[in-house]
Amino acid sequence: MTAFWLMKSEPEVFSIDDLADKQTSGWDGVRNYQARNFMKDMTVGDRVLFYHSNASPSGIAGIAEVCRTAYPDPTQFDKKDGHYDPKAAPDKPIWFQVDLRFVSKFPRFIALDELRGISAIQDMMLFRRSRLSVQPVTPQQWRIITKRGGG
């Protein structure tokens, strides 16, 4: 069954517009076990809220979908990459990524302030687990947010 997620990216590094340009992109660089485990749970066709973090303002910018399930993140093996992990080896990968495909950019960006004002979504992990960069979203939360965003 299709599941719903929220994934954070700093727009200075990779924004919804960057994904729109590329159409598909690997979601590399995740170095948190809980976030990794959520990515391992994803299946092709799952829908993703693309969240801009560390932005002004931060908030939800659009929608993507999973187009490839979890596979080893190559940056963990690359000494020259900032996400290099010396404990990982190609036969013993630690970190995984999925690939995302661009679906849409919201006509109405939904800032964090506005999200905080929607009473029906206050149990989102976004508010309770502030630092988790990959997190599940319930169908109800998905419906409310995508309706607000206009697409």
Q: Which is nearer to DNA, 23 or 54 (by Cβ)?
A: 54
Q: Which of 14, 20, 26, 31 touches DNA (CB under 7 A)?
A: 31
Q: Which of 3, 5, 6, 8 binds DNA (CB under 7 A)?
A: 8
Is there binding between residue 145 and DNA (CB under 7 A)?
no
Q: Which of residues 33-92 bind DNA (CB under 7 A)?
A: 33-34, 53-58
* Whole-number Å distance between alpha carbons of 127 and 136: 12
If one asks whether residue 113 binds DNA (CB under 7 A), the answer comes out as: yes
Binding residues for DNA, per CB under 7 A?
8, 10, 31-34, 53-58, 112-113, 128-133
